[in-house]
Structure formats: structure tokens, C-alpha cells
């Protein structure tokens, strides 16, 4: 079974927000909400500063606490790509999943159910990349099966220095940032 993940090269990401706009357009994300976003992290002492720009979203964790805490099974692991998905018709809007996510990747849709990045599974099923990956003008984002040793994502993770977000939270995030 595939294990979809994403690799994002922070050396080529320019923070243009095309991925954010593409996601909102593709998934009809309501105004004022977003499934992916841009984070700019600056650290160091002038003039020795280091800037990292990251396109962030749900990490589709290996051990997703949002799935464990869901009282109705609305948050679940989809067989296709073992990604974390939400069935809006089962969601009661209790918000436990929002509180359980160390990445704060979820929000409440204007219609009342919990919402987040789906890795654009509807596109991936057709053999396409997620919308954010497809539109990236610097090609800094790659999507694929982390368990497939010859996939682009596996090769990048094996070849380049990288980090994930909050690995200490123990959720097994599947988005890796090349540094």
C-alpha cells in the first residue's frame, strides 16, 4: 500500500503563495480559511541570518492523533495512499481533532465540519499531482509514495539534508523540508 508524502525544497521556495491560491481554487476553500499556508522563519544575528520559507499543510501523519480522537470515525485513514481524510457526513464539529493536531492544520469549514488538506486525492486518483505541487513555479514541491524507493520523494529524502516539523510530537509527519 502506498504511503503518500511530500518533499519541499526550502532553497527554491520563494513564498509566492501560488500553492495557497491553487489549493483554494481547486478545493473551493471558503474565504478567510486556508488548507495550506506560507511560513517564513528567520533566525540568527545580523548579518548572520538564515531564512527558511516553507509551504505548510496537514502532515498526513503516520500516527495521526486527529484520527484517534475522532468520536465518530469521520477522521480516518484512507486506504489510497494511507492519507488522513475527513468524511464531512460523519463529522459532528466537536473540534477535538483541531485541538489534537500539533500543527494546527485543521479548521472548521463554514458549513460546520472539520476541514484540511486532502493531498488533492481526487486529482491523485487521476494520476495528477496535488494542485499546490502542479502550479509551483519553482518546482520546489514533490509528491509521491515514500515507500517506493525510486519515487522522486524517496530519492530526494535519501539524497538531501531535510527536516520535518515537530518530530518530537511523535505523530510521524510525512512532509519533509529540504535544507
Residues contributing to the site for another protein (CB under 8 A): 17, 20, 32-34, 37-46, 49, 56, 65, 68-74, 88-96, 98-102, 104, 106-108, 111-113, 163, 165-170
**Residue position matching grid coordinates 518530537:** 168
Residue among 15 and 134 whose Cβ is closer to another protein: 15
Residue among 112 and 128 whose Cβ is closer to another protein: 112
Three-class secondary structure of residue 42 per DSSP: strand
Cβ 36 to another protein, closest distance in Å?
A: 9
Cβ atoms 173, 66 nearer than 8 A: no
Cβ 159 to another protein, closest distance in Å?
A: 22
Q: From residue 15, how far is each of 31, 37, 44, 54, 81 by CA, in Å?
A: 20, 9, 20, 7, 27
Residue among 25 and 41 whose Cβ is closer to another protein: 41
Cβ 87 to another protein, closest distance in Å?
A: 10
Cβ 105 to another protein, closest distance in Å?
A: 9
Residue among 68 and 148 whose Cβ is closer to another protein: 68
Phi, psi of 93 (to 5 degrees): 75, 35
Residue among 38 and 156 whose Cβ is closer to another protein: 38
Cβ 172 to another protein, closest distance in Å?
A: 13
CA separation for the pair 29, 38 (Å, rounded): 16
Number of CB atoms found within 10 A of residue 65's CB: 18
Report the sign of the C-alpha dihedral through residues 35, 83, 26, 20, in that order.
positive
Amino acid at each position: 500500500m502506498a504511503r503518500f508524502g511530500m518533499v519541499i525544497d526550502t532553497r527554491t521556495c520563494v513564498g509566492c503563495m501560488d500553492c495557497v491560491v491553487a489549493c483554494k481554487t481547486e478545493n473551493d476553500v471558503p474565504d478567510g480559511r486556508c488548507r495550506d499556508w506560507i511560513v517564513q522563519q528567520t533566525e540568527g544575528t545580523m548579518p548572520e541570518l538564515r531564512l527558511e520559507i516553507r509551504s505548510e499543510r496537514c502532515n498526513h501523519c503516520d500516527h495521526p492523533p486527529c484520527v484517534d480522537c475522532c468520536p465518530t470515525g469521520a477522521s480516518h485513514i484512507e486506504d489510497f495512499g494511507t492519507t488522513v481524510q475527513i468524511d464531512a457526513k460523519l463529522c459532528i464539529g466537536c473540534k477535538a481533532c483541531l485541538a489534537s493536531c500539533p500543527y494546527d492544520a485543521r479548521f472548521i469549514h463554514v458549513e460546520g465540519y472539520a476541514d484540511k488538506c486532502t493531498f488533492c486525492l481526487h486529482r491523485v486518483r487521476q494520476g495528477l499531482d496535488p494542485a499546490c505541487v502542479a502550479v509551483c513555479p519553482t518546482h520546489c514541491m514533490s509528491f509521491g509514495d515514500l515507500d517506493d524507493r525510486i519515487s522522486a520523494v524517496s530519492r530526494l529524502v535519501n539524497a538531501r539534508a531535510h527536516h520535518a516539523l515537530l518530530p518530537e510530537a511523535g505523530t510521524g509527519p510525512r512532509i519533509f523540508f529540504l535544507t
